[in-house]
Chains A and B, each alone.
Chain A
Amino acid sequence: MVEQVAHKRADDSDLILQLEGISKRYGGVKALSQVDFSCKKGSIHAILGENGAGKSTLIKIISGVVQPTEGTLKVAGQVQQFASPTQASEYGVVCIFQELSLIPDLSVADNICITDPPRNRFGLIDKAEQIRVATDLLARVNCADVNPRELVKNLPLSRRQMVEIAKALGRKPKLLILDEATSALSAADVEKVYEILRGLREEGLTMLYISHRMHEIEELADRLSVFRNGEHIETFDKGARSNDEIIEMMIGREYSSVFPPKPTHDDKLLTVLEVENLSWDGRLNNVSLTLGEGEIIGLGGLDGQGQHEILLALFGVLRGYEGKIKLHGKEVAMGSPKQAKSDGSIALIPEDRKTEGLMLPMSIQDNISIATLDQLTKGLIIDKSAEAAKIAEMIEKMSIKIGNVDDAVATLSGGNQQKVVIAKWLMTGAKIVLLDDPTRGIDVGTKQELYQLFRDLADSGHSIILYSTDYDELIGCCDRVSIFYQGEIIRELTGDEINETNIVAASLNMEISGQQAGTMP
Chain B
Amino acid sequence: MKSWIENIDKPIKYALGFIVLVLIVGNIYTLINLGTMPFFSPNYLLQQLQVASFLGLIATGMMVVILLGHIDLSVPWTLTCAAMTATAVGGDGAMLAGLTAGLIIGLINGIGVAFLRVPSMIFTLGVNTVVQGLMIVHTGGYAPQTASTPIMNFLATGYIAGIPTALFVWAAIGGLIIFMLNRTPMGRYLYAMGNREVAAYLSGVNTRLILIAAFVICSLCAAMAGILLAGYSAKAYQGMGDLYLLPAIAAVVIGGTNILGGKGTLAGTVVGAILIVLLQSVLSVMQMPEAGRQIIYGSVIIGMLLVYGRAEKKES
Interface stretch (choices A54-62, A368-376, A444-452):
A368-376
Which of A350, A360, A371, A374 makes the CB contact (< 8 A) with B195?
A360
Residues A373 and B199 in contact in the complex (CB < 8 Å), given A340-B204, A361-B263: no
Residues A356 and B202 in contact in the complex (CB < 8 Å), given A361-B195, A362-B195: yes
Which of A359, A369, A381, A382 makes the CB contact (< 8 A) with B262?
A359
Q: Which residues from 187 to 211 on chain B have a C-beta closer than 8 Å to any C-beta of chain A?
A: 188-189, 191-192, 195-196, 198-206
29 example contacts (A-B, Cβ-Cβ < 8 A) are as follows: A315-B202, A317-B202, A336-B204, A338-B204, A338-B206, A340-B204, A342-B204, A350-B202, A355-B196, A355-B199, A356-B196, A356-B202, A358-B196, A359-B191, A359-B192, A360-B196, A361-B195, A362-B192, A366-B188, A369-B188, A370-B203, A370-B205, A371-B205, A380-B183, A380-B184, A382-B184, A382-B185, A382-B188, A384-B183
Q: Which 10 A-B pairs have the closest CB atoms?
A: A341-B204, A359-B195, A373-B185, A371-B203, A338-B204, A359-B196, A337-B204, A370-B203, A381-B183, A359-B192
Whether the Cβ atoms of A424 and B203 lie closer than 8 Å is yes
Check: A516 CB closer than 8 A to any chain B CB: no
A424 contacts which chain B residues (CB < 8 A)?
203
A428 contacts which chain B residues (CB < 8 A)?
204
Whether the Cβ atoms of A359 and B263 lie closer than 8 Å is no
Whether the Cβ atoms of A359 and B206 lie closer than 8 Å is no
Check: A85 CB closer than 8 A to any chain B CB: no
Check: A260 CB closer than 8 A to any chain B CB: no
CA–CA, A372 and B183, complex, Å: 14
B188 contacts which chain A residues (CB < 8 A)?
366, 369-370, 373, 382
Whether the Cβ atoms of B184 and A357 lie closer than 8 Å is no
Residue of B nearest to A353 (CB): B199
Residue among A350, A374, A382 having the largest count of chain B Cβ atoms under 10 Å: A382
Residue among A357, A359, A380 having the largest count of chain B Cβ atoms under 10 Å: A359
A340 contacts which chain B residues (CB < 8 A)?
204
Residue of A nearest to B208 (CB): A336
Distance in Å from the Cβ of B17 to the closest Cβ of chain A? 25
Whether the Cβ atoms of A359 and B201 lie closer than 8 Å is no
CA–CA, A377 and B183, complex, Å: 9
Whether the Cβ atoms of A366 and B198 lie closer than 8 Å is no
Distance in Å from the Cβ of B211 to the closest Cβ of chain A? 14
Whether the Cβ atoms of B204 and A355 lie closer than 8 Å is no
CA–CA, A449 and B262, complex, Å: 33
Distance in Å from the Cβ of B7 to the closest Cβ of chain A? 12
Contacts A359-B262, A381-B184 aside, 6 further interface pairs with beta carbons under 8 A come to A350-B202, A355-B198, A356-B199, A361-B262, A374-B185, A428-B204
CA–CA, A337 and B198, complex, Å: 11
Residue among A356, A362, A428 having the largest count of chain B Cβ atoms under 10 Å: A362
Whether the Cβ atoms of B196 and A337 lie closer than 8 Å is no
Whether the Cβ atoms of B195 and A382 lie closer than 8 Å is no
Residues A357 and B199 in contact in the complex (CB < 8 Å), given A338-B205, A342-B204, A374-B185: yes
CA–CA, A341 and B200, complex, Å: 13
Contact code string B272-289 (vs A, CB < 8 Å = 1, else 0): 000000000000000000
Whether the Cβ atoms of B184 and A348 lie closer than 8 Å is no
Residue of A nearest to B201 (CB): A337
CA–CA, A47 and B122, complex, Å: 48
B184 contacts which chain A residues (CB < 8 A)?
377, 380-382
B202 contacts which chain A residues (CB < 8 A)?
315, 317, 337, 348, 350, 356-357
B195 contacts which chain A residues (CB < 8 A)?
359-362
Distance in Å from the Cβ of B304 to the closest Cβ of chain A? 21
Interface residue range, chain B: 20 to 34
B201 contacts which chain A residues (CB < 8 A)?
337
CA–CA, A348 and B201, complex, Å: 11
Residues A371 and B262 in contact in the complex (CB < 8 Å), given A366-B188, A377-B185: no
Distance in Å from the Cβ of A369 to the closest Cβ of chain B? 8
CA–CA, A356 and B200, complex, Å: 8
Residue of A nearest to B188 (CB): A373
Whether the Cβ atoms of A370 and B183 lie closer than 8 Å is no
B203 contacts which chain A residues (CB < 8 A)?
337, 370-371, 424
B200 contacts which chain A residues (CB < 8 A)?
359, 370
Residue among B184, B185, B188, B203 having the largest count of chain A Cβ atoms under 10 Å: B203
Q: Which residues from 405 to 462 on chain A have a C-beta closer than 8 Å to any C-beta of chain B?
A: 424, 428
Distance in Å from the Cβ of B178 to the closest Cβ of chain A? 13
Which of A356, A366, A380 makes the CB contact (< 8 A) with B192?
A366
B185 contacts which chain A residues (CB < 8 A)?
373-374, 377, 382
Contact code string B204-241 (vs A, CB < 8 Å = 1, else 0): 11100000000000000000000000000000000000
Contact code string A300-343 (vs B, CB < 8 Å = 1, else 0): 00000000000000010100000000000000000011101110
Distance in Å from the Cβ of A368 to the closest Cβ of chain B? 10
Whether the Cβ atoms of B206 and A356 lie closer than 8 Å is no
CA–CA, A366 and B189, complex, Å: 10
CA–CA, A68 and B184, complex, Å: 51
Whether the Cβ atoms of B198 and A370 lie closer than 8 Å is no
Residue of A nearest to B185 (CB): A373
Residues A362 and B183 in contact in the complex (CB < 8 Å), given A317-B202, A356-B198, A370-B205: no
CA–CA, A183 and B185, complex, Å: 44
CA–CA, A381 and B188, complex, Å: 11
Residue of B nearest to A348 (CB): B202
Distance in Å from the Cβ of A185 to the closest Cβ of chain B? 30
Q: Which residues from 367 to 397 on chain A have a C-beta closer than 8 Å to any C-beta of chain B?
A: 369-371, 373-374, 377, 380-382, 384
CA–CA, A205 and B146, complex, Å: 82
Distance in Å from the Cβ of A411 to the closest Cβ of chain B? 10
Residue of A nearest to B194 (CB): A359
CA–CA, A377 and B180, complex, Å: 13
Whether the Cβ atoms of A382 and B183 lie closer than 8 Å is yes
Whether the Cβ atoms of A366 and B191 lie closer than 8 Å is yes
Contact code string B159-196 (vs A, CB < 8 Å = 1, else 0): 00000000000000000000000011100110110011
Residue of B nearest to A312 (CB): B202
Distance in Å from the Cβ of A342 to the closest Cβ of chain B? 7
CA–CA, A374 and B206, complex, Å: 11
CA–CA, A336 and B199, complex, Å: 13
B191 contacts which chain A residues (CB < 8 A)?
359, 362, 366
CA–CA, A341 and B202, complex, Å: 10
Residue of B nearest to A408 (CB): B316
Distance in Å from the Cβ of A218 to the closest Cβ of chain B? 41
Distance in Å from the Cβ of A347 to the closest Cβ of chain B? 9
CA–CA, A317 and B185, complex, Å: 22
CA–CA, A258 and B189, complex, Å: 39
Distance in Å from the Cβ of B140 to the closest Cβ of chain A? 44
Residue of A nearest to B186 (CB): A380
CA–CA, A356 and B192, complex, Å: 12
CA–CA, A317 and B198, complex, Å: 11
B263 contacts which chain A residues (CB < 8 A)?
361
B205 contacts which chain A residues (CB < 8 A)?
338, 370-371
Contact code string A260-290 (vs B, CB < 8 Å = 1, else 0): 0000000000000000000000000000000
